Amino acid sequence: MYTLLKLLIVSTVFFALSAMLTGCGEKSEENIPAEKLTASAVISEISSGHGHNVEIPFTDITPTPTADLFQYRSSDNTGHSHVIALSKQQMIDLNNGMRLTVISSAPSSGAAHTHIWNLFGGNVLYDKNCYNCHTNDKRGQDQNRMQATLRPLSVASQISAIISPESAPPSTTADVTPDPAFTPPAFLMDGPTLYSNYCSGCHGSLTSSTKFNKSFALIKDAITNNTGGMASLGALTDAQLEAIATVLIK
Ligand code: HEC
Ligand code: HEC
């Protein structure tokens, strides 16, 4: 009994000490992920004993989506996959932080069934705007507690959706039917190549850029305002600028 108590005290002291050492409220963020995310992984409900996950690229999650229809093929599980579809308006709703429920296509093979995906705009926005600096540490937290120059978002519904993804309003936009034969395009937005083609000449290579941690909005503003002659980059799409902003996160 006594040894148990001693163990308890020792471990409590140890935890208190390590909390002090790692520091609460330190001013630099050191929990940078080993691998940066470029997509938000959304997982289906488990039905028929298995689930699937779908990756929504950050470049698709914008206030001005570039397509009318977004389709994603899920991961394989038990030998089959499914497709989910979002309309342009549903993508806008998701980007505004709303909740949305979509039902998948039939499986690519095997016994007929579908899955339900409950998408939370708040989680997707956290993945896109916060994860690459904080991993999962600041989920549910208010970006406004962070110094103003680092805050990635200015839309109130997005900020509150990150704080509480489940209490965000549900989307009321009509569903679209996924195409069970949908094949994902091979083309993926290549941030490092875009950066080296369009930015490195003036701002240094990607490993030593003078523009680390510049948000999509700041880059877009610099182009719109012709800062340093950057109006010449006006042909880059929002999706390309998002891909560049993602690789500039350090
Ligand atoms: C470019 C990197 C970067 C991004 C992106 C970023 N943060 Fe931060 N965040 C930091 C740094 C660095 C600090 C520590 C300095 C400070 O407090 O301002 C911090 C601090 C914070 C804090 C205060 C921590 C504390 O306990 O004092 C919160 C809360 C926070 N971030 C939330 C968020 C949320 C939510 C997002 C996404 C909307 C986000 N951050 C995006 C770098 C980032
Ligand atoms: C022709 C040279 C040139 C190219 C190409 C260029 N920039 Fe710039 N950029 C400048 C100059 C000059 C400034 C103003 C001085 C400064 O802030 O470095 C600037 C300013 C900026 C700013 C605003 C100031 C700040 O730091 O917030 C951002 C953001 C930025 N550039 C990012 C980029 C990105 C990303 C690319 C590639 C898509 C790019 N630039 C391509 C020359 C260029």
CB 96 within 8 A of CB 104: no
Cβ of residue 203 lying under 6 Å from some atom of ligand 2 = yes
- Separation CA 5–CA 12 (nearest Å): 11
Residue 227's pLDDT is: 96
- Separation CA 67–CA 212 (nearest Å): 29
The CA-atom distances, in angstroms, between 240 and each of 60, 68, 237 are 10, 18, 5
Cβ of residue 43 lying under 6 Å from some atom of ligand 2 = no
Residue pLDDT, tens place only, 115-125: 999 999 999 99
Residue 185's pLDDT is: 66
CB 103 within 8 A of CB 114: yes
**Residue from 146, 159, 164, 213 to probe ligand 1 pocket by mutation (most atoms less than 8 Å from CB):** 146
- pTM for this model (two decimals): 0.66
Residue pLDDT, tens place only, 16-41: 433 333 333 444 566 777 777 888 99
Which segment of 67-71, 110-114, 242-246 scores lowest on mean pLDDT? 242-246
Q: Which of 65, 76, 130 is nearest to 107 (CA)?
A: 76
Model confidence band, residue 65 (pLDDT cutoffs 50, 70, 90):
very high
Which stretch of DSSP H or E encloses residue 121?
Answer: helix 121-129
Cβ of residue 183 lying under 6 Å from some atom of ligand 1 = no
Residue 13's pLDDT is: 38
Instruction: Please give the DSSP secondary-structure letter assigned to residue 247.
Output: H
Residue 238 clears pLDDT 50, i.e. is over it: yes
Residue 30's pLDDT is: 62
Q: What 3-state class would DSSP assign to 48?
A: coil
Q: Tell me the average pLDDT across 205-215.
A: 93
Cβ of residue 193 lying under 6 Å from some atom of ligand 2 = no
Q: Which of 156, 103, 149 is nearest to 125 (CA)?
A: 156
Residue 59's pLDDT is: 85
Q: Tell me the average pLDDT across 109-133.
A: 95
Q: Which residue has the tokens 């994902």?
A: 184
Q: Which residue has the tokens 């039902």?
A: 103
Q: Tell me the average pLDDT across 132-146.
A: 95
Query: Distance from the CA of 37 to the center of ligand 2, in angstroms?
Result: 24
Cβ of residue 217 lying under 6 Å from some atom of ligand 2 = no
Q: Tell me the average pLDDT across 164-175.
A: 97
Most confident of the following: 9-18, 45-54, 119-128, 205-214? 119-128
CB 167 within 8 A of CB 120: no
Residue 188's pLDDT is: 57
Q: Is 203 exposed, middle or buried (0-12, 13-18, 19+ CB in 10 A)?
A: middle
